[in-house]
Amino acid sequence: MIKLYKKPFTCLLLLVVIVFLLTACSGDGSTSTVEATDLTSTEVTTDAAQTTAPEPAPPPGNDDAQFYWWNERVFYEIFVRSFLDSDGDGDGDFTGLIEKLDYLNPEDTSPDEDLGVGGVWLMPIFPSPSYHGYDVIDYYDVNPDYGTMEDFKRVLDEVHARDIKVIIDMVINHTSDQHPWFIESQNPDSSFRDWYIWSETNPGTQGPWGQQVWHLDDSGYYYAVFWGGMPDLNYKNPEVVEEIKEVLRFWLEDVGVDGFRIDGARHFVEEDGVYADTNANHEIFKELRTHIKTINPDALLLGEVWTSNFAVKKYMEGDELDLAFDFDLAGAFMNSAASGRANSALNQLSFSLKQFPHSQFAPFLTNHDMERVMSQLGEDWDKAKNAATMLLTSPGVPFIYYGEEIGMVGRKPDEKIRTPMQWSDEKHAGFTTGFPWIPVNTDYPEKNATGQSEDPESLLSFYRALIELRNQYDALQIGDTYLINSESPAVYAILRVRGDETLMVIVNLSQEPITDYSLSQSDGPLEGSYQVVPLFGDGEFFDLSSNQQGGFDKYQPLKILPSNARLILQLK
């Protein structure tokens, strides 16, 4: 027998090999450039013949976890320009948004008549030379295409009256090249020169995903990680930091928003040739968070950290972000929905449970930078419902991109995934009485919110029912999550537990009924025998008995699991 402790070089070599293998298996992409790609590609990989859920880290337990107002809510992402045009000029506006608040969550109506969301994320509302608004020219005003600041404050009043929280897209990694700060900085003698990152010569370095980042104008080369029209602010300059703090204070205190979605959060501070996730980047978020929480301890700080969760989790380990989007889980949900195989979603969910604090991450399917769900899923309504079920029963704080709930389509370029909301079968989908800023999708006569509201089998009705259920059960909002093994690779199954609420979620991702799908959980929180009652889905379900470890063995709630079955079962 070789005694490794007597052979230090052999031991070290073995340790290196083990670390390498673990890293490869974990998919650690901390140095990958996923921000330049679409993580929800429908390319699928071959899963194992059996869906064996990996063992997640033990849940911290509800008694030890902290929960916040955002954990009780489903969020809805809105592009104001494409939501509703109230004055016929072709651009959506604040007044149009107010007109459609009852669609999101009315003050007084039956819960099945609205979407039931409790939070909205507004894409940039600042003045900007671009249609999308991600190049800001004034942080203290709103886009005149959308209305006035008074109009926006009326939005806040109306939204808060419905117990909906509002977070706004805070684009503070960079400004527009038309921002007065940048225009002034083009003068080498100006005090604003150091508000941006300038060089007399071209440093010749490339950005995080190999892109050009040094751009030439008449006064030198300036750094812009995303595009030459979006020069990066210099966060090594204390004056910049203090000004951004004042911007954040203004929107929290003077205007009254409930928090921020921080755009491009990886790229605030570059150092030593590293352009993402630097130590200085983490330090600036600690400083900004302290400032924000001093103004409003309940304000939400949500980060767009578009990379592997191995890097994302570092923003959640200290006093930096409250929530971060789970891009890895978004890709996994879409992969499983497209392929009909559950391993991708279950594996990634297991990793997310280990990497994030209890319930403090934001799952989603797609957003304004990604091709839409229905386009990726080949306009398959069942696959879209399967994806929605995984999302809306997931731990964390779910986000829905506007139009996702009615199956809107859209492929790149970006304008085509941000087209006007399809409200009705009227001209221009009921979005405007004029001519829309970009044509609406041609399928609006058959695919619109009004028509789907009247159809109990529609995708919109499906979303409404799932969100209503999530709003009713703490187990779905903040419960512990246990992954369930299945003998069928097509079955996605998890257990959500909070106090005396125990819910089992089962999705048959296959287009075929399944008989050999028995479910098992080696250990868990169960004790004794349970009557199984359907909260979502139909059938006569068999009772369940736990094993000695608190799990269960070879349980089949139904002899035959129908194709595309989507079940939420309560264990009583």
- Which residues are annotated as catalytic? 263, 304
Whole-number Å distance between alpha carbons of 433 and 384: 31
DSSP 8-state code for residue 439: P
Q: Is 7 helix (H, G, I), strand (E, B) or coil?
A: coil
Report which of 269, 75, 81 is spatially closest to residue 172, judged by C-alpha positions: 269
Whole-number Å distance between alpha carbons of 276 and 265: 9
Whole-number Å distance between alpha carbons of 320 and 58: 24
Q: Hey, what amino acid is at 421?
A: M
> Do 143 and 125 touch, CB atoms closer than 8 A?
yes
Whole-number Å distance between alpha carbons of 299 and 140: 19
Whole-number Å distance between alpha carbons of 110 and 406: 20
Instruction: Report which secondary-structure segment, H or E, holds 553.
Output: strand 552-555
> Do 210 and 33 touch, CB atoms closer than 8 A?
yes
DSSP, residue by residue, 286-354: HHHHHHHHHH-TT-EEEE---S-HHHHTHHHHSSS-SEEB-HHHHHHHHHHHHHT-SHHHHHHHHHHHH
Structure tokens at 11: 């031991």
Instruction: Report which secondary-structure segment, H or E, holds 247.
Output: helix 238-249
Residue 287: Cβ within 10 Å count = 15
Helices 381-392 & 327-339 angle (0-180, nearest 10) = 140
Q: Hey, what amino acid is at 229?
A: G
Calculate the alpha carbon distances from 525 to 11, 58, 61, 457, 522 in Å. 40, 11, 11, 35, 11
